[in-house]
Amino acid sequence: MTIKKFQGKTEEEATLKAKQELGVGTVIMNVKEVKPKGLFKAFKNSTYEVTAAIEENEKTAQVKAPEMPKVGKIDVSADEAIRIPAPEPVKKEEPKEQIKETSQTVENMWASLEEKMKNETKKEVAAENNLEEKLESLQNFLEKKLAPEETKKEELLEEPEDEGFKFMKMIYSVLLENEVDEKYVNQIIDEVETVRKKGSSVDHMLSSIYQKMILKFGQPQPIELAENAPKLVFFVGPTGVGKTTTIAKIASRFKVEKGKKVALLTADTYRIAAADQLRTYANILDTPIKVIYSLEELNDTLKEWKDYDLILIDTAGLSHKNEEQRNDIKNLITGASEEYEKEIYLVLSATTKYRDLKDIVDVYQKEFKVKLIFTKLDETNCYGNMLNMKLYTGADLSYVTYGQNVPEDIEVFNMQKIVKILLGGK
């Protein structure tokens, strides 16, 4: 993995420099505003610094690993992916009280790491004693909380006793508690195993795990307008996940905040309330809306609205097991005129069980290339399914919603925030 920093007068300029140098697979890991300093700072403009990363091609030669960081300073660079098998995951379940205490400990360490990163430009203090005290404290805690109460002496001799192993065990527990699938937890631990075996500090291991997870989520892909014609955006998904409200939030963003011409269509003729709800939002936003009953009516309406920038199309919420309704939606999407650029967003609830989510996306991905929107983040404390579905489907994540307020409760997917939460932070 390659990590570099780029500066520009604006965030967009710095991001463009990063993508030009590193390529299309570039992931923007952090954006920081650099304010001017000195006597004449009032007459200078701020600049922007972005930290970008890209995963090296597996076929390329291995790059020499960076030197270990000096004590007291955190090196946020990640090591190259090295195929070393992970230790067998601990099968014995830990008590709920123990997992809560473990999660709290990781949360505290994350807060400590974040504070150090903010102050990385300050003069280093004598950190050797602090690091020794921290590791000694961590060791004492782990010996009391993570070791089984009745462990045979033979098992103690077989289990590694280094601090890195114990820390990785804590991360393993926290990710499982956040409902990340065990298969993907093992992959993450496996990829950073080489960092642990080098005897790296806990902070450095946490940084490596954080960077690997950022890259697994990838760059979010929100709606981008077409150049010469209206962009058609279809919203599909199960009943009750919040498609109609999500459409209203996105329409408001483009109409009010960006000043674009937006129109709304609904093909949800199964629920009268859905059309009435969307019509209410359309009246507030002063945008046209139409209920369509056939493919011919859809294409006729698109000709009338050819001067619009964005046309958002609501579809009926349905069970993924209902083949007849699935075919109706498929015919509507594939039958829309090919002169328009089309995108399909699959709306999923963050509260849905992982097994059900897999069944849902399997059905839709057989027919379409979809991007994912997750709703109802305010109704759950476990965000692991977002990482599960990203790794299971390979589909791009776009937006998340966390309430009923229009247009406030929506944002472009923020992988930095979600990864911090998955690792026990806030």
Per-residue pLDDT of 60-83, as tens digits, reads 444 344 444 444 444 444 444 434
Residues 247 and 399 sit within 8 Å (Cβ to Cβ): no
Give the Cα separation of 315 and 318 in Å (integer): 9
Helix (H, G, I), strand (E, B) or coil at 214: helix
Q: What dihedral do alpha carbons 374, 376, 225, 273 form, nearest 10°?
A: 120
Q: Residue 271: pLDDT band by 50, 70, 90 thresholds?
A: low
What tens digit of pLDDT does each residue of 77-111 get? 444 443 444 545 544 444 455 555 655 665 666 66
What tens digit of pLDDT does each residue of 201-255 get? 788 888 889 999 999 999 999 999 988 889 999 999 988 898 989 999 999 999 9
Handedness of CA 5, 8, 11, 17 (dihedral sign): negative
For residue 151, pLDDT over 80 is answered with: no
145's CB contacts (< 8 A; 6+ apart) are 98, 101, 102
Residues 79 and 195 sit within 8 Å (Cβ to Cβ): yes
Pick the more confident residue, 150 or 49: 49
Question: What is the DSSP annotation of 157-183?
Answer: HHS--SHHHHHHHHHHHHHHHTT--HH
Kindly report the CATH class assigned to 231-422: alpha beta
**Strand stretches in 35-85, DSSP E:** 47-54
The residue behind tokens 């002496």 is: 153
CA distances, 288 to each of 234, 246, 266, 407 (Å): 17, 17, 11, 18
CA-based nearest residue to 257, from 221, 310, 306:
310
| pLDDT for res 137 | 59
| pLDDT for res 322 | 72
What tens digit of pLDDT does each residue of 106-142 get? 566 666 656 655 555 444 444 445 555 655 555 565 5
Give the Cα separation of 290 and 233 in Å (integer): 15
Give the Cα separation of 49 and 13 in Å (integer): 10
Question: The whole model's pTM is what?
Answer: 0.66
**Domain parsing of the chain, residue ranges:** 2-54, 96-217, 231-422
Q: What is the DSSP pairing of strand 341-349 with strand 289-291?
A: unpaired
Looking at residue 343, the DSSP 8-state letter turns out to be E
CA angle 259, 233, 288 (to 5 degrees): 55
For 377-393, what is the mean pLDDT? 94
Residues 364 and 320 sit within 8 Å (Cβ to Cβ): yes
For 354-367, what is the mean pLDDT? 91
H-helix segments, 305-383: 323-335, 354-367
Give the Cα separation of 337 and 301 in Å (integer): 11
Beta pairing partners, 53: 3, 27
Question: What is the DSSP annotation of 240-278?
Answer: TS-HHHHHHHHHHIIIIIS---EEEEE---S-HHHHHHH
CA distances, 284 to each of 278, 287, 411 (Å): 10, 8, 21
Residues 172 and 94 sit within 8 Å (Cβ to Cβ): no
- Name the token pair of 370: 């979809």
